[in-house]
Amino acid sequence: MITSHFLPAAFRMFGLYSGIANAPKLDVWGIDEYHVSCAYRASFRVIAAHDIVDYEEQNPLSVVLLCAHLYYRALQTVPTLVRLWILECKGRELSAAVMAYTSKYFSSVLIDTELERATKTRFGDEKMHVKVIPVHREVNMTYTIDENEIKMSLKIPPDWPLHVIEVRGGKKVGVKEDRWKSWMSGVRQVVLTQVGLVVGVPRQFHISHIS
């Protein structure tokens, strides 16, 4: 349903089949939040960011904002399906427009959300340290064992989640090569398959070292 129906319908709603030039500009709207409240029985209002518009089925703006939020949620929860659609898209201009539009209006919101979650996450282990560097879209992890530091870092691409997070191995003093490769494999599996990647990877890194 996502790849065969929703994504094509969403990209048509954004006008991306005709390129990105005339696509709706979403930077003034809060695509990560969308509330439909019923003021009266037949009266609905759409609240996006700090602006409120009357929700009407025939109002293009209302439908576009709803579609934008649903696409945001798809990127947040099933990014692999979005990447699959782009990979299998036979129209080069269409796929380029989708990637450019997503990167411009959706990626930065998703990245900021994930980095904020990573900043607030606590592991309950003084040996585990996570440092978030928003300006570089990086998350650095350090685990201390017997005064030795084991380090790993994540680099989030600017068009995430259309491209996956880069996992960089750092210091691995006192760790056997086969065990290090096993840890790295587990972390990369999280990057490819799980939701909430920026939080999931440090958690996997932490579990690997205490097990």
Say how far apart CA 186 and CA 180 lie, in whole Å.
Answer: 10
Range of the domain at 69: 2-108
Say how far apart CA 117 and CA 113 lie, in whole Å.
Answer: 6
pLDDT (0 to 100) of residue 194: 56
| Contact between residue 176 and residue 161 where contact means Cβ atoms under 8 Å apart | no
Say how far apart CA 71 and CA 75 lie, in whole Å.
Answer: 6
The per-residue pLDDT string of the chain (211 residues; one tens digit each, 9 = 90 and over) reads 899 999 999 999 999 999 998 898 888 777 777 655 543 334 444 444 445 444 455 566 778 888 898 999 999 888 889 999 999 999 999 999 999 999 999 999 999 888 888 888 776 667 778 888 999 998 888 877 666 677 778 888 999 989 888 877 765 656 677 776 776 776 666 666 555 555 555 555 555 554 5
Identify whether 142 is part of a domain. yes
pTM of the model: 0.76
Q: Is 48 strand, coil or helix?
A: strand
pLDDT (0 to 100) of residue 46: 45
Residues 73 and 144 in one domain: no
pLDDT (0 to 100) of residue 195: 53
Residues 104 and 130 in one domain: no
Say how far apart CA 59 and CA 133 lie, in whole Å.
Answer: 41
Identify whether 139 is part of a domain. yes
Identify whether 89 is part of a domain. yes
Say how far apart CA 7 and CA 190 lie, in whole Å.
Answer: 24
pLDDT (0 to 100) of residue 36: 59
pLDDT (0 to 100) of residue 45: 43
pLDDT (0 to 100) of residue 171: 59
Residues 35 and 12 in one domain: yes
Tell me how many domains the chain contains: 2
Residues 140 and 102 in one domain: no
Backbone angles phi and psi of 172, in degrees to 5? -140, 45
Q: Which of 86, 108, 130 is the last residue of a domain?
A: 108
